[in-house]
């Protein structure tokens, strides 16, 4: 078995062990950099009561804290199941650009584990989605929020 297949097999084994210990849903993830495993994660939604405690996010959180860096460029994610939109977005935000998964949304559908309907919902224009998302441009009087970020992030303006 090649390394990528071994990493994917480990993600599946983590998911299976997770089911057997009843900590969460049947999902496991392995995060790899330069061929080496740097973090693993399992879905702990049931035991943690945290709807964001997905395997991929747990692996991302672990390595980001360990490396003290939110950018994970060059890392490769191996997931037992098709990543949900939240996990996919997190991988994009972290700079992960390569993902392998073993079970598709179609494989998961008969078990109520598919996120296909969520992908379909998010593909709709915002005005047609079931969640109300309302833009309300409120600005604090003392200082603009994003301007405060720029000053802290980059220091005072170079023009002053």
Q: So which residues are the catalytic ones?
A: 56
| Torsion sign (Cα): 65, 69, 74, 77 | positive
Whether residue 43 contacts residue 18, with contact meaning beta carbons closer than 8 Å, is answered with yes
Do 58 and 93 meet the contact criterion of CB atoms below 8 Å apart? no
Size of the chain, expressed as the number of residues it contains: 160
What's the N-to-C CA distance of the chain in angstroms?
A: 61
Distances (CA, A) of 42 to 85, 95, 152: 17, 21, 36
Q: How far is residue 66 from each of residues 60, 69, 73, measured CA to CA in Å?
A: 10, 8, 15
């Amino acid at each position: 078995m090649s390394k990528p297949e071994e990493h994917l097999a480990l993600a599946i084994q983590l998911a299976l062990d997770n089911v057997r210990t009843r900590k969460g849903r049947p999902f496991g993830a392995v995060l790899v950099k330069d061929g080496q495993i740097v973090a693993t994660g399992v879905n702990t939604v049931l035991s943690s009561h945290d709807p964001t405690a997905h395997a991929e996010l747990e692996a991302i959180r672990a390595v980001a804290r360990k490396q003290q860096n939110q950018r994970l460029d060059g890392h490769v994610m191996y997931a037992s199941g098709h990543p949900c939109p939240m996990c996919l977005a997190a991988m994009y935000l972290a700079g992960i650009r390569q993902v392998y998964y073993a079970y598709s949304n179609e494989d998961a559908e008969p078990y109520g584990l598919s996120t296909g309907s969520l992908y379909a919902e998010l593909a709709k224009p915002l005005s047609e989605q079931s969640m109300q998302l309302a833009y309300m441009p409120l600005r604090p009087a003392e200082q603009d929020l994003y301007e405060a970020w720029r000053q802290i992030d980059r220091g005072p303006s170079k023009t002053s």
